[in-house]
Structure 1
C-alpha cells in the first residue's frame, strides 16, 4: 500500500533495497557476534569479572528494545529515507565512542548510542521492504536479505578472535565504519521515502512508562545473582518495573494512538509469532554469550580458536535459509515451529557434553546443528509476523515485533548470565573446574525452557502463514 503523495520505488531501487537492508543487518550482526569472543579479554583489560561485562552486551539490545517502539512513528512522521540515514549515523557514532572508551560505564553509554541507531535501522528497513513488495514475495525477500547478513555471524567470532590475538579489542568497533559509509551511500540513493501524512502525535507518556519499565526490569535481571543488592531491594525494583509496565498497558487502552499498537495481538499469527518468539529467544539468546566463556575459560582455547568454533553454526544458518522455503511450503508454519522448537531445545542441552578434553570433532557438528535449527526457527517466526497484517499497520507491527525480539535477546543474555552466576556462587569465574559445571546447569535450564516454549505454537492453525509459505493445508473432513 502506498500512502497519499507517494509512488512505488523504481525497479532499480527495488532490486537494491534488499541489499541495503542486508548491509544494515550485517553491521548489527557483525557487531554483536564479534564482541562475544572478546568478552574474556575485555574483562581482563578493564579489570572486571567476565560475567559483569554482560551489561556491555545487554545495554545495546536493551537500547534497541526501548527505542524501537518509536522507530515506526518516526518513519511515518519523517520518512523512511531520512530516519534510516540518521540511524546509520548514530550507529557509527556509537561505534567510534566504543573504540575510545576507557572504562565499562563509558562503554555502556556508547553501546546505548549504538542501540539508538540500530533501533531505527532494522525496523525502518523492514517497513520499507513490507511496503515495497507483495506478501507473496516476503519469504523470498527475507531469505535474500538474511543470507548476506549471515556473513556477519560467520566471520564475526573468528575475526574478533583474530583481532584480539593480534590487535586491541578497540579495533573491533572500528570495523563498522566502512560498512556504515556504504550503507549511507546506498540509503541516499535507493531507500524509498515512505511516510504517513496522517501520522498521529507521539505517545510521550507511553514511551516514558514502557521505556523506564523495561530498562529497570532489565537492570534487575543483570544484577540478580551478583549479590550486589539485597533481596528486599531487588524485590522492590522488580515490583516497580512491573508496575510501570502495567501502567503502560492501562494507559495504552485509553490512548487513541498508543506507542505500541496492542490491538495487533488480536491477529492470531502476529500474536503467536511475537509471544512465542519472545519465549523461545529467552532460551536461545544467551548461547552466544555463554559459549565463548565455555570455550575460552572452560576448555582453555585462545580467542581465535573459540571464534572458529562458531563458524559451523553460521554456515548451517546460511544453508538452512536456502531450504527453509521448501520446508515451510511442504509442512507449513505450525508444524515446523512446533517440531523445530523442541529440536532446538534438545540441541542446547547437548552442550552439557562439551567439557575439557572433548574433541573438536564433537563440538563442530553440535554447533552446526544448533545453527541449523536456530536459523529455521527465526525464519519461520519472522515471516509469520506480517502474514495477516495490513500494509497501513506495517510500521506498528514492525515496532512491536522488533521490540519483542530485542527485549528477548537482552533478557536472554541477562537470564543466561544470571543462571551461570547463580550456579557459580562466589567462586572464581576464571576457574575452569567451577565454570564448566555451572555453564552445563545453565544449558539444561535454557534448553528445557526452549522445549516448553513449543507449546506456544500449538495455537496456530495448519493454514496460518500459507500466504507467505505457499503451503496448502489438506482440507478437513466435514
Structure 2
C-alpha cells in the first residue's frame, strides 16, 4: 500500500511525536477558525469597516477549508504524505503572516482563503498518517492525542482572543502561528513518513465540483443565518443549492468507479455510528462554546473576560478526564461509554437551560466542568469507534469522508445554535418583560432534545461494538 519509515517506539508502530505534531497543527487550525470572532470589533476598526463585515473573513476560511478537505486524501496518496503535510504547514504559516499584514478587508479574506487551503490538507493528511502507522490496539491512544485540540481550542479561543486584543493587538491572533508553524515544519520533515500509493486513479474532478459546490453553499447559508439582520431569501437559496449539490454528489459517488468520497465505509456499522450519531453529537457539542460566552455577556451582563474565564471550566473538565477516557472505554466498552456521555451531555444541556444571573458561581462552574468531562469522553469514544473496523487499505477514503462530515457538523453546530436562539428570541419578543437570558435557556433546552438521538442510537448499538479494544 505504501512506504513506512521508522516512527516506532520500542515494539510499537505508533509514534507519539508524530501524533503530537498532528494534534498541534489541528489546534492551530481550529483556533484560527474561532478566535477571529473575539477580535472582530478591533479588526473592523483598524480596517475601517463594520464589525459585521469581518464575517466575510470567517466565511472565506470555512468555505475553503470545507471544499479542500475531500481532495486532501488523493493529494497525499499521489504526492506523498510528508510532502503534502509539510507544504500545508508552510502555506498555513505564510497565510497567517499575510493575515496579520492585511491592509484591508479584501486582502484579509484572500489570506484567509489561503489559510483554509493549508488547513484543508494539513489536518486530514496528518490524521491519516497517524491512523495508518498505529495498530488497532493503539487506536485509543492515537485518537486521544488527536482529540484534545477539538475539545480545547473552541473553549480557550474567547479567552485567548480577548487577552491578545485587550493587551496587545489583533495582529497577534495570526502572528502566534508563525513560530509555531516554523517549528511544526521542521519537526514534520523528520517524523512524517513518506506514505503514498503505488497505483492511483485519476482525481474525481466531477465529484470535487459537486461536493465543493454543496459544501460552499452550505457554509455560506450557515454564515448568513448568523448575520444580523438575516437575509432569509438568500439563506433559502443557498440551502436549496446545497441540497441539490448534495443529492447530485451522492448520486455521482455511488456510480463513479473512483469517487472523491468513498461512501463504502458507511456500510461498516461502527463507522456509520461514529459519523451519523457522532455528527449530530458534534453538532450539539460545538454549539455550546459558542452560546455560553454570549449567554454570560448578554444574558448575565458579564464582561468578555468574565465570560471567557467561566467558560474555562469546560476546558478544565476536558483536560482532567482525558487520562481516564481510554481505560474507561477498555473497561466498559463503547456502548456503555457512549450512553454515559450522551445521557450525561443531555442532562448538562438541560442544566444550562436553568442557569440565570442569580445562580451561584460555584454551581455554574460545576455544570460547565461536568459538561467538559462528558464532552471529552464522547469525543474520544466516537473518534476511535469510527475507525475500529476500517481496513488499512480503505483508511484514506474513510478518513477523508470522516473529516468532511466532522467539518460540516462543526460548522452546523454554530449555525444551528444561532438559528435556535434567533427563533426563541423572536417568539419571546412578543412576551412582555422577558429576561435577556430566557432565549439562551430555551436554546439549551432544544439542544438537549436534539441530543436524544445519539442516546437512542447508542442504545441500539451491539454490545460487542469495538470489542477489540474494550
Relative to the length of structure 2, the TM-score reads: 0.89
* Aligned counterparts of 2:222 and 2:27: Cα–Cα separation in 1: 28
1:72-94 C-alpha deviation (Å, 9 max, x unpaired):
11110111101111111222233
- CA contact under 8 A between 2:152 and 2:318: conserved in structure 1? no
Distance change (3 Å), C-alpha of 1:463 and 1:40: farther
* Aligned counterparts of 2:138 and 2:165: Cα–Cα separation in 1: 41
1:416-435 mapped onto 2 (5 Å cutoff): 416-425=417-426, 435=436
* Aligned counterparts of 2:98 and 2:390: Cα–Cα separation in 1: 38
Deviates more, 1:341-350 or 1:10-19: 10-19
**RMSD, matched Cα:** 2.9
* Aligned counterparts of 1:84 and 1:380: Cα–Cα separation in 2: 26
1:19-56 C-alpha deviation (Å, 9 max, x unpaired):
21122123224434544544566677776467x76665
* Aligned counterparts of 1:253 and 1:401: Cα–Cα separation in 2: 17
Distance change (3 Å), C-alpha of 1:317 and 1:348: same
Pair 1:141-2:138 in alignment: no
Partner of 1:229: 231
Structure 2 gap ranges (5+)? none
Deviates more, 1:357-366 or 1:151-160: 151-160
Relative to the length of structure 1, the TM-score reads: 0.87
State the shift of 1:271 in Å: 0.9
1:318-362 C-alpha deviation (Å, 9 max, x unpaired):
122211112211221122213321221221232223333443222
State the shift of 1:153 in Å: 5.7
Partner of 2:216: 215
* Aligned counterparts of 1:107 and 1:425: Cα–Cα separation in 2: 34
- CA contact under 8 A between 2:283 and 2:412: conserved in structure 1? yes
Distance change (3 Å), C-alpha of 1:464 and 1:54: farther
1:375-410 C-alpha deviation (Å, 9 max, x unpaired):
111100100111011111111111111111110011
- CA contact under 8 A between 2:428 and 2:439: conserved in structure 1? no
Q: Secondary structure at the match of 1:286?
A: helix
* Aligned counterparts of 2:33 and 2:237: Cα–Cα separation in 1: 32
1:429-448 C-alpha deviation (Å, 9 max, x unpaired):
xxx97652222222222221
Pair 1:162-2:163 in alignment: yes
State the shift of 1:265 in Å: 0.7
Distance change (3 Å), C-alpha of 1:22 and 1:220: closer
1:284-321 C-alpha deviation (Å, 9 max, x unpaired):
22222222222233333333332222222112111222
Distance change (3 Å), C-alpha of 1:462 and 1:154: same
Deviates more, 1:288-297 or 1:318-327: 288-297
Deviates more, 1:167-176 or 1:204-213: 167-176
Q: Secondary structure at the match of 1:188?
A: helix
Partner of 2:324: 323
1:9 alignment partner, one of 6, 16, 28: 6
Partner of 1:446: 447
* Aligned counterparts of 1:53 and 1:398: Cα–Cα separation in 2: 32
Deviates more, 1:86-95 or 1:190-199: 86-95
- CA contact under 8 A between 1:269 and 1:465: conserved in structure 2? yes
- CA contact under 8 A between 1:92 and 1:180: conserved in structure 2? yes
Distance change (3 Å), C-alpha of 1:235 and 1:61: closer
Structure 1 gap ranges (5+)? 472-478
1:130-167 C-alpha deviation (Å, 9 max, x unpaired):
12121111112222454588665675433222222212
Distance change (3 Å), C-alpha of 1:403 and 1:173: same
- CA contact under 8 A between 1:17 and 1:129: conserved in structure 2? yes
* Aligned counterparts of 2:414 and 2:149: Cα–Cα separation in 1: 25
Equivalences, count: 461
Structure with more contact order per residue of length (Cα contacts < 8 Å, sep ≥ 6): 1
1:59-74 mapped onto 2 (5 Å cutoff): 59-74=60-75
* Aligned counterparts of 1:268 and 1:385: Cα–Cα separation in 2: 9
* Aligned counterparts of 2:45 and 2:304: Cα–Cα separation in 1: 13
* Aligned counterparts of 1:202 and 1:154: Cα–Cα separation in 2: 37
